[in-house]
Amino acid sequence: MNLSALAKPAVLSQPVYEPGKPIEYVARELGLDPNSIIKLASNENPFGPSPKALAAAKLALERGELYPDGGCYALRQKLGERWGLQPSQFIVGNGSNEVIELLGHAFLGAGDEVVMGSPAFVVYKLVTLLFGAKAVEVPLRDWRHDLDAMAAAVNSRTKLVYVCSPNNPTGTTNSAEEILGFARRLPSHVVLVLDEAYAEYVEHAPDMRPLIQAGRNILCLRTFSKVYGLASLRVGYGYGSEELCALLNRVRQPFNVNAIAQAAALAALDDLEFAAKCVRETKSGLVQLATGFQRLGLETVPSCANFLLVRVGDGAKIFEALQKRGLIVRPVASYGLPEWLRITVGTHDQNSRIIDAMAELVLQRT
Ligand SMILES: Cc1ncc(COP(=O)(O)O)c(C=O)c1O
């Protein structure tokens, strides 16, 4: 029997997610010293995890024989205190990616529609298609979510609406007032998912809690992968109504978040000073990158996140050339932006290296 004939049609037509290449892979492929390679491709935190999170993770590893707390009790407790919500108003996932998948499990099937910006974080579309639902992609306007057009795209089949702010891959935001107004406009049969993976880098992120407490169907997504520097451990979460989180908790695996990640996330929340320092350094790195590229005559999109879109002409060619110099960045042709690259803000030295390399490549072009 042909296995493909056994698989669900949505699996066969599923587009494949292409993650940024790991350092070791690129080193082997190009014969480079892995220590000389800089990865600025996946919007990770170049300053690493907080030392407190690292210590907590090491300690948790010593009890590696035990299953983790399947309910993430302590973490939900701490998140509840941090946000002024009940622990029952949180769903913790193996990265916020898993929470996006849980939304698919809980809500999506054939005939359903999901409204999302385009381009926006690709996992919304991948999960939508995997569950046999239709992705209704609404083009960005001036690089930002066109919330009026998104509201107009909602119909009786719409189950979920994704707003990503700051948006990946553009780094742009919609204002808090715009997002709150949009949330109030949505009909009650729709769940608004506000993906705030990069919200810590923003000064005026919207506070959705009053609307959540008033009974609106809203799930805000957060992650420990970015400003908290714990991407490898895979932990993220959503907060919303107790009812919504109970539904999502039903469809997750019993031990979906490992104990090391839980311990590190807890400790990271106790080291807000470290997170604040990372935000400060990243913001100054963003200015360094943007001004560096602009001096070279390269167009950039004003970003509020820890990455920057830069227009380089032939994105694939410049990506390859940078990679040969040991600099891994993100081509975004798959987001419909073949002339652009998405570059994560690194440390000051890393940013200088990428600006210098780009200067060389721009000179070669002229
Ligand atoms: C907008 C956005 N949401 C969610 C995620 C997923 O983050 P994680 O699964 O690591 O929590 C990412 C990762 O790059 C992202 O850019």
| pLDDT single digits (tens) 100-125 | 999 999 999 999 999 999 999 999 99
Question: Could you say which of 237, 271, 305 is where a domain stops?
Answer: 271
Asked if residue 110 and residue 142 are part of one domain, the reply reads yes
CA proximity to 78, closest of 251, 237, 255: 237
Q: Please tell me the total count of domains within the chain.
A: 2
CA proximity to 92, closest of 69, 125, 63: 69
| Residue 32 belongs to domain with CATH number | 3.90.1150.10
Asked if residue 121 and residue 78 are part of one domain, the reply reads yes
Q: What is the largest CA-CA distance in the chain?
A: 60
pTM of the complete model beyond 0.85: yes
CA angle 175, 40, 315 (to 5 degrees): 85
Cβ distance 171 to 308 under 8 Å? yes
Asked if residue 198 and residue 334 are part of one domain, the reply reads no
Q: What pLDDT does 366 receive? A: 59
| Residue 123 belongs to domain with CATH number | 3.40.640.10
89 lines ligand 1 (CB under 6 A): no
Question: Could you say which of 244, 271, 298 is where a domain stops?
Answer: 271
195 lines ligand 1 (CB under 6 A): yes
Q: Looking at the DSSP assignment, which residues form a beta bridge with residue 163?
A: 194
Asked if residue 244 and residue 168 are part of one domain, the reply reads yes
Question: Could you say which of 256, 271, 286 is where a domain stops?
Answer: 271
CB-based burial of residue 21 (10 Å sphere; 0-12 exposed, 13-18 middle, 19+ buried)? Answer: middle
Asked if residue 280 and residue 248 are part of one domain, the reply reads no
The 8-class DSSP code of residue 15 comes to P
pLDDT-derived band at 96 (thresholds 50, 70, 90) equals very high
Q: Whose CA is nearest to atom 8 of ligand 1?
A: 95
> What gap in Å lies between CA 4 and CA 46, rounded to an integer?
41
Asked if residue 176 and residue 92 are part of one domain, the reply reads yes
Asked if residue 222 and residue 103 are part of one domain, the reply reads yes
Q: Which residues contact 364 (CB under 8 A, 6 or more apart)?
A: none
Strands, E assignment, the chain: 38-39, 90-93, 113-118, 134-139, 158-164, 191-195, 218-223, 236-239, 307-311, 327-328, 330-331, 340-344
Asked if residue 185 and residue 255 are part of one domain, the reply reads yes
Q: Note down the domain range covering 77.
A: 51-271
Which atom, in ligand 1's list, is nearest to the CA of 234? 10
Asked if residue 162 and residue 83 are part of one domain, the reply reads yes
Mean pLDDT, residues 45-49 taken together: 97
169 lines ligand 1 (CB under 6 A): no
164 lines ligand 1 (CB under 6 A): yes
Q: What pLDDT does 1 receive? A: 75
> What gap in Å lies between CA 319 and CA 313, rounded to an integer?
11
Mean pLDDT, residues 244-260 taken together: 98
Asked if residue 259 and residue 174 are part of one domain, the reply reads yes
| Amino acid sitting at position 272 | L
> What gap in Å lies between CA 240 and CA 231, rounded to an integer?
23
> For the CA atoms of 212, 216, 221, 222, what is the dihedral angle to 10 degrees?
-10
Asked if residue 115 and residue 105 are part of one domain, the reply reads yes
Mean pLDDT, residues 310-327 taken together: 95
> What gap in Å lies between CA 96 and CA 182, rounded to an integer?
22
284-299: per-residue pLDDT in tens? Answer: 999 999 999 999 999 9
| Amino acid sitting at position 229 | G
Q: Which residues contact 31 (CB under 8 A, 6 or more apart)?
A: none
- 48: CA distance to ligand 1 center in Å? 16
Size of the chain, expressed as the number of residues it contains: 366
Asked if residue 361 and residue 307 are part of one domain, the reply reads yes
